Amino acid sequence: MQVESVEQRLVEERLDIRNRRVQNPPSDISERRPWVENASLFWDYRRIFLRVAAIVFLLSIISVLFMPKEFESTARIMPPEQGGGGAALLAALVGKGTGGGGSGGGGLAGLAGSLLGTKNNGALFVALLRSGTVTGGLIDRFDLRKVYHKRYRFSAAKRLAHLTKITEDTKSGVITIVVTDETRERARDLAQGYLDELNGLLARVNTSSAHREREFIEHRLATVQTELQNAQVALSNFSRENTTIDIKEQTKATVEAGAKLEGQLIVGETELDSLRQIYGNENVRVRAAEARNSILRRELQRANGQSDLETVEGDDATHPYPALRQLPQLGVQWANLYRTVRIHETVFDLLSEEYELARIEEAKSIPTVGVIDAPGAPELRTGPHRTLIVLISTALSFVMTALFLLARRRWMTMDVLDERRVLAARIGATVRKRWSRHSA
């Protein structure tokens, strides 16, 4: 009923306006005063304005109450100085991380070219912070696809870029990172994550001379270690096969053992001669002395390396130590193997010291960002601005209502046979017809 009354009122107003124009045609366009007509229209429908505004006001209040809170964590850093080679590689990495296509890739390439050899590389580090390498690390580290309810990584990356603001002060070169999130802790952790990912990226792409020296020494150290292990295994196998431990000491011990055996054999022969003179050849003590002397003679022959030994049945012909005549030949081989082991050990020790020094120098040469303000947990929320949202929504409701009324009046004052109105009527009839078919 209310809609019919509104339409009837608009029809009456249209007829009244048309009659007045016919009876009193204006002599000048300025005498029509359209703002008066519009103000009169708005005043007549002031209740509609108030109703729409009230409804929008209540809906906006309900909507802002369900909006999640927003917290901002801020970090300020000072970019390090970077040499030409490192800057070139970093620029290439940025171009690759951002897709390297279109105007964006050309802009970054030009940025890298302008930064080679310069002192301030702030713009380059801003591009690094926005690169796919850094954002990808943050997405995996904090599982942002689940946090942002995104299926794909690029969607999560876009959402993260929307919630992150990275700016550079052109005068001081200080870079500011502002991260917005629904929780205080995650906002702080994401801001700190940007710093960690940037430092890790700088360490991975470091191309300083200390880095190259460390890589060379590391490769050489691995080779020397393998050679040392092979030399030690060869010396161990030679010592095991020939029962050699220390040729010098073994030679000395073998000579001393041979002299002792020979002295014992001389004493035994003297004792045997005396026993034979006293007891004869068939005496038990004489036979025992002969057996002892035979054993001493065989041991002496073995120590001297004689090959014409008569082995006693059941006795082992092999001696646990090398013979005296074999020691010179074994000594040469053992000395060569031992010298090789000592050479590799010396080289390995020297390279180990140089490797540690190279690692220290590399750590010193790696560029690290200087943190001016570390990110902290925000105390107050920064959004959403609920009062401002409610006020803007209410104001927009007034504007939209006014536009609707003006459009409606324009439509009602339009002639029935107007082409625009006929076209709209045809479109509306077609839509209603199709809708009725689907409904049925």
Q: Supply the pLDDT for residue 258.
A: 59
pLDDT band for position 314 (cuts 50, 70, 90): very low
Q: Supply the pLDDT for residue 7.
A: 59
pLDDT band for position 326 (cuts 50, 70, 90): low
Return the exposure string of 140-152: e unless at least 16 CB atoms fall within 10 Å of the residue's CB, then b: eebebbebbebee
Structure tokens at 199: 């430092």
Structure tokens at 215: 């890589």
Domain ranges of the chain: 2-66+384-432, 71-208+367-373, 228-342
**Model confidence over 415-426: pLDDT tens digits?**
777 788 778 888
Structure tokens at 374: 């570390």
**Average pLDDT over every residue of 18-43:** 63
Q: Edge-to-edge strand order for the sheet containing 164-168? A: 164-168, 175-181, 71-78, 370-373
pLDDT band for position 245 (cuts 50, 70, 90): low
Sign of CA dihedral 242, 245, 248, 250: negative
**Average pLDDT over every residue of 181-203:** 89
pLDDT at 395 exceeding the cut of 50: yes
Residue tagged 């249209």 (tokens)? 14
pLDDT band for position 85 (cuts 50, 70, 90): very low
CATH class of 71-208+367-373: alpha beta
Sign of CA dihedral 378, 380, 386, 391: negative
User: Comparing 159 with 293, which gets the higher pLDDT?
Assistant: 159
Q: How far is CA 184 from CA 178, 306, 376, in A?
A: 13, 91, 9
pLDDT at 34 exceeding the cut of 90: no
Percent of the chain at pLDDT > 90 equals 17
Residue 100: what are its φ and ψ, rounded to 5°? 65, 15
User: Comparing 40 with 335, which gets the higher pLDDT?
Assistant: 40
- What 3 state SS string does 44-73 have? HCHHHHHHHHHHHHHHHHHHHHHCCCEEEE
User: Comparing 310 with 130, which gets the higher pLDDT?
Assistant: 130
**Average pLDDT over every residue of 319-329:** 53
**Model confidence over 364-386: pLDDT tens digits?**
777 777 888 888 888 788 878 88
